[in-house]
Amino acid sequence: MNELYPVFLKVHELNILLVGGGAVATEKLQFLLKSSPKAHVTVVSKAFSLDFLEIASQTDTVTLIEDAYDEKYLGGKHLVIAATDDKTVNEQIQRESKERFLLVNVADTPELCDFFLGGIVTKGNLKIAISTNGKSPTTAKRLRQFLEDVLPEEIDELLENLHAYRETLKGDFEYKVKAMNDLTEALVKRV
């Protein structure tokens, strides 16, 4: 049973700590920046791969600290991602994050995660998150690719038009909901 509660975080307004600088950390950073190019990420690692450095250099919102993990780096953070190649260090990061009531993701260890970085489809203002409850990231990736292919590029124009229409509606909340439901009903009718 999937008991995850999906949320969309304004990570450009939060402080994220990413620990690690290898292949897994590169994937996590790439995912964060693809979804939120202005995400504030502090990265702590003893060393950084060339791929990691290339991705980090594409924005000024990523701060690199060449050092071993220390709990002092948790200060002022909202989210923590442990992506080192050392299981003991990852478990330490998880434990110390939980002691501070910080949300933590431990790469490739679903049982130690408060949240997952699932598949995300973005078409302009439309963003769809996909989760397999940590069971199959590959399936989430394939579903993301499928949705990217089938959702029309014009979907953003539709969203903008619906927003403009919604702004013209007068009346109470119930009236506005009914008007928007009536207008968008055709979007979900099966052919």
Task: Collapse the DSSP code of 153 into the 3-class scheme (helix H, G, I; strand E, B; otherwise coil) and give the result.
Answer: coil
51 is catalytic: no
The CA-CA-CA angle for residues 31, 103, 88, to 5°, reads 85
Q: Tally DSSP H helices, then E strands, for the chain.
A: 6, 7
Given a contact cutoff of 8 angstroms between Cβ atoms, the answer to whether 38 and 13 are in contact is no
Q: Residue 132 in contact with residue 140, Cβ under 8 Å?
A: yes
Identify the active-site residue in 108, 114, 149, 182. 108
Contact 80, 102 (CB under 8 A): yes
Dihedral, 84, 35, 60, 100 alpha carbons, nearest 10 = -50
Q: Which two tokens mark 18? A: 């990413």
Q: How many angstroms separate the Cα of 147 from the Cα of each of 61, 98, 116, 126, 153?
A: 29, 35, 19, 12, 11
Q: Give catalytic residue positions.
A: 108
